[in-house]
Structure 1
Amino acid sequence: MTNYWPLAGILIVVIGFALRFNPLMVVVVAAIATGLFGGLDFVAVIESLGKAFNDNRYISVTWIILPVIGLLERHGLQQRAKALIESVRGATMGKLLVLYLLFRQITAALGMKDIGGHPQAVRPLVAPMAEAAAEKTHGKLSDEDNDKVKGMAAATDNVGLFFGEDIFFAIASILLIQGVFESSGYPMATWELAVWAVPTAICAFFIHGGRVLAFDRKLGRPAK
């Protein structure tokens, strides 16, 4: 007779997420329940979880920094970032985001695509600094304009990463394209593909940089 009890872990995940419980707690409880219903004792389940984490520690280590960022935010990281940008003479939201766009593209092109990102860079640092720069130039912003500034900061990170990472010849997308070409009888080196991402990245920088600067100027105009 088929034992369906191990599938209870799926139900726990669905209910836990629906009730908005802590995601990490929900997943751990679901994993333990699945193991117990599957016939493992409690110690064996914990051993399996520990082994899985250890086997994938190089993948998981990236996420260890997220609790640290959360702790720093709680103790005033965003306020410090705002104070820093307010003390810089001539700083504007447009200049700040264009510099971040350049930084994001260059680091992504060198393979350091995880050095930025929404949770580890945009939310705690880039967005608050952009807000502070915008308020320094244009005065107090409305809630709607604040949201637009945050959205532009997030978009800048997306554009920088998306058009910068393909310049790195060992990125998954380049390797996938190389594999497709080779399977079709057109062998070529990864760097031959990566080099063609450079013109696109340059165009993306100037196009999005222009959008950012235009948005900065628009913030200073009264609504019609």
Structure 2
Amino acid sequence: MNELNLLPLIGIVIVVFGFALRFNPLLVVCVAGLVTGWAVDLEFLTLIETFGEKFMNSRQLASFLLILPVIALLERYGLQQRAQSWVASIKSATTARILSMYFIVRECSAALGLLSLAGQAQTVRPLLAPMALGAATNLHGELPKPVKDMISAHAAACDNIAVFFGEDIFIAFGAVLLMDAFLKENGIDGIEPLHIGLWAIPTAIAALIVHLFRLARLEAKISHEIAKHTNKSTILNAGLS
């Protein structure tokens, strides 16, 4: 029996110690890859070629990571404030209408497979939440923090719920293919991804109706919370005086 060679696992050790010592992550991973290639007797040119091939195959991930610093720069130069002030200038805009419109668009786009069209980091935080807050501020004036938190939570929930129920309609979505494979592995034939996508449509419609109903009640809930906060502040100020 051949002796087990544990030397190629040295790359894992380098990654663990490199991250523990807070070295540059990119440098740590590159060194770990080079050392692992040396441990398995990989030629230098072949190793460099492998690095280039893996980078090209995962370049889409690198482009996705670029979104985060771009959004951070936009926020630093006032993206949220611009969105909030723009919505505040529209007299007919309300929090419920903005969130309802976003929910419909997000669920329909998810059903078409356009999951990266929007999201929490690139849309909800810098645009949707400030727009919803701007509409509420335009109607009710300065908002207390609990109300701001509630509106921001509803904005985040719109994205999550719309994507969750809309993506199953897209037959090339990973979860749909996983369900199809699971059914076939367990001897359940006659089910295709198209069938799963079609049966997801009634659920998506039900989710749309239920959530739009919840958003229709949001304006009254905002008014109630503001009134409650105002009464509490009045009683507190009266007690202090």
TM-score, normalized by length of structure 2? 0.79
Kindly state the Cα deviation for residue 95 of structure 1 after the two structures are TM-superposed.
0.8
Q: Match for residue 72 of structure 2?
A: 70
Q: Match for residue 8 of structure 1?
A: 14
For 2:117 and 2:63, the matched residues in 1 are separated by 13
Tell whether the 8 Å contact from 1:178 to 1:187 is kept in structure 2 after alignment: no
For 1:49 and 1:72, the matched residues in 2 are separated by 33
Kindly state the Cα deviation for residue 5 of structure 1 after the two structures are TM-superposed.
5.2
Tell whether the 8 Å contact from 2:109 to 2:115 is kept in structure 1 after alignment: yes
The list of structure 1 runs, each at least 4 consecutive aligned residues, that deviate by more than 3 angstroms after superposition, is: 1-6, 35-40, 42-51
* Structure 2 counterparts to residues 84-123 of structure 1, below 5 A: 84-123=86-125
For 1:92, the aligned partner's letter is T
Tell whether the 8 Å contact from 2:96 to 2:219 is kept in structure 1 after alignment: yes
Question: How many equivalent pairs are there?
Answer: 216
Tell whether the 8 Å contact from 2:87 to 2:131 is kept in structure 1 after alignment: yes
For 1:194 and 1:83, the matched residues in 2 are separated by 40
User: What's the % identity of the aligned pairs?
Assistant: 35
Q: Which runs of 5+ in 1 are unaligned?
A: 17-24
Tell whether the 8 Å contact from 1:32 to 1:45 is kept in structure 2 after alignment: no
For 1:5 and 1:110, the matched residues in 2 are separated by 44
Kindly state the Cα deviation for residue 187 of structure 1 after the two structures are TM-superposed.
2.9
Structure 1 residues 196 and 133: CA distance shift in structure 2, 3 A: same
Kindly state the Cα deviation for residue 75 of structure 1 after the two structures are TM-superposed.
1.6
Match of 2:32 among 26, 34, 43: 34
For 1:135 and 1:86, the matched residues in 2 are separated by 7
TM-score, normalized by length of structure 1? 0.84
Structure 1 residues 10 and 138: CA distance shift in structure 2, 3 A: same
* Structure 2 counterparts to residues 156-171 of structure 1, below 5 A: 156-171=158-173
Kindly state the Cα deviation for residue 160 of structure 1 after the two structures are TM-superposed.
0.6
Alpha carbon RMSD of aligned pairs, Å?
Answer: 2.6
Q: Match for residue 237 of structure 2?
A: none
2:216 maps to 1:210: no
